[in-house]
Amino acid sequence: MTTETTTGVSDKQAKNPYIQVEQVLAQFTVPQLQCETDTGIETIPLAEEVSFGSWQPEIPEEYWQLDAETLNTRIRAARERLGDQVVILGHHYQREDIVQFADTRGDSFALAQYAAEHPESPYIIFCGVHFMAEAADILAQPNQTVILPNMEAGCSMADMAAAPDVYSAWRELEDLFGSTEDIIPVTYMNSAASLKAFCGENGGVVCTSSNATQVLEWAFQQGKRVFFFPDQHLGRNTGHAMDIPLDEMVLWDWRLGPGNLGGRTPEELEHSRIILWQGHCSVHQRFSLTQIEQARQQFPGVQIVVHPESRYEVVQAADANGSTAFIAKYVAEAAPGSIIGIGTEINLVSRLAKENPDKTIFCLDPVVCPCSTMYRVHPAYLAWIMESLERGEVVNQLRVDDNIKANARIALERMLALK
């Protein structure tokens, strides 16, 4: 007999070697990536980064040893010379040495929209991760070129939903139910362009952490059940907020391979309203009930706000949950003197602490790592692509295939029409 936690992980699944490896890895953090709310992340020369070997290696050697000050000076100079030729977008989770150069900062969707609304700039430099630059390319004007500073800046959550695994699951659902007409695929913004296109082709839609409820309400008007990927937690937390019982939201474990119905029984799937993909954000899944309990003990009266990519039990124990924009607003609107424990990426928490000196702001995870893939956008990469642009050389252009782009745009436009 297997038992199941509220997060849908059974004893049997917990014995899965993939999960075991992940649990072991979670115990280790790279020392220089450990940081506290008030210290932020200091830029060190690229060559001294312990993970540099797995980052984009094509960057010329002249950039490897440059310190933060030199890089800042060179980027600033290139920025001035390029003027309106470039628009620089900075995701909330980027380090300060990158965000300081951004024309705007925000979440992935807001940034992509901003770029599309500035057609006077032919080059969009997206300081974020791969799926974000893809979304910008999907929404960009025909005259715009999207550049990702480090092509190895991916997203572990997006990588958990590989297109072949999703197609295979879809076929299994089709075989089980006889048709997928009543199943609406919904992909979180944090997914590959190919999956957004899959949703566009199959009557589905894209959602963000700001509009997931609205999108799911729409989806349930179109069909009987939702196939939600790649983030199980956002799907479950949103479903719960819509009064969908936990046992009607079942987890599809793609790691079990084709032919296993994602580890569910036909009866469980028949009973389900939301089929959740086994995916998560490695940053937000670190937040725990214990951290919240410790924060409440240490700071009586503390307010806890977390991102909905956190586990169900963490969201339930928090005072509020919402997107990065929601968290920023929550902090800004809190009364002076408030103490707020936040469950999201350290760069944003650190920035909010600096911008709200009249409040005590801290990250729930005392040794939280930044998002390791966002971290790959080191200023040396930004200097490299900008100085290359000055010479008329475009490096690291991110281009989505036209067919995928057209279908992905359908799914994005369905979401936009809901506003």
In the complex, which residues of this chain contact ligand SF4 (CB under 6 A)?
93, 129, 155-157, 190, 281-283, 345, 371, 373-374
At closest approach, how far in Å is the CB of 97 from ligand SF4? 18
- 343: its two tokens: 């469950």
Distance CA 51, CA 392 (A): 30
User: Which secondary structure element, helix H or strand E, spans residue 222, and what is its range?
Assistant: helix 212-222
Spell out the alpha helix ranges (H) of 205-285: 212-222, 232-241, 266-271
Structure tokens, 303: 């307010």
Residue 253 or 345: the one with the smaller Cβ distance to ligand SF4 is 345
- Give phi and psi for 141, each to the nearest 5: -75, 155
CB of 299 to ligand SF4, least distance (A): 25
Nearer to ligand SF4, 190 or 323 (CB): 190
Q: 287-322: buried (b, 16+ CB within 10 Å) or exposed (e) per residue? A: bbeebbeebeeeeeebbbbbbbbbbbebbebbeebb
Q: Smaller CB distance to ligand SF4: residue 35 or 302?
A: 35
Shortest separation between residue 128's beta carbon and ligand SF4, angstroms: 8
CA–CA gap between residue 38 and residue 293 (Å, rounded):
22
Q: What is the dihedral of CA 296, 298, 302, 307, to 10 degrees?
A: -60
CB-neighbour burial class of residue 242 (10 A; exposed 0-12, middle 13-18, buried 19+): middle
40: left (phi over 0), alpha (psi -120 to 50) or beta: left
Report, in Å, the least distance between residue 309 CB and ligand SF4.
6
Q: Which residues touch 282 (CB under 8 Å, ≥6 apart)?
A: 156, 157, 371, 372
Least distance to ligand SF4, CB of residue 182, Å: 29
Minimum CB distance to ligand SF4 smaller for 111 or for 244: 111
Nearer residue to ligand SF4 within complex by CB, 185 or 343: 343
The Cα–Cα gap between 261 and 392 comes to 51
Report the nearest approach of ligand SF4 to the CB of residue 249 (Å).
20
Closest approach of Cβ 62 to ligand SF4, in Å?
Answer: 29
Token code pair at residue 287: 């937040």
- Smallest gap from Cβ 392 to ligand SF4, in A, equals 31
Task: Number of helices (H) and strands (E) in the chain: give both, helices first.
Answer: 18, 13
| Closer to ligand SF4 by Cβ: residue 105 or 225 | 105
For residue 325, what are the contacts with CB-CB under 8 A and spacing of at least 6? 106, 107, 110, 210
Give me the least distance between CB of 190 and ligand SF4, in Å please: 5
Listed in sequence order, the residues at least 6 apart from 49 whose beta carbon sits closer than 8 Å to its beta carbon are 32, 55, 378
- Beta-bridged to residue 187, according to DSSP, are 206, 229
Q: Nearest distance from residue 283's CB to ligand SF4, in Å?
A: 4
Q: Judged by CB, which is closer to ligand SF4: 158, or 302? A: 158
Closest CA to 253 of 277, 287, 283: 277
Phi and psi, residue 95, nearest 5°: -70, 160
Q: What H or E segment, with its residue span, contains residue 35? A: none
- Comparing CB distances to ligand SF4, the nearer of 121 and 208 is 208
In terms of CB distance, is 165 or 345 closer to ligand SF4? Answer: 345
Helix (H) or strand (E) holding 37, with range, is none
Q: Which is nearer to ligand SF4, 251 or 283 (CB)?
A: 283
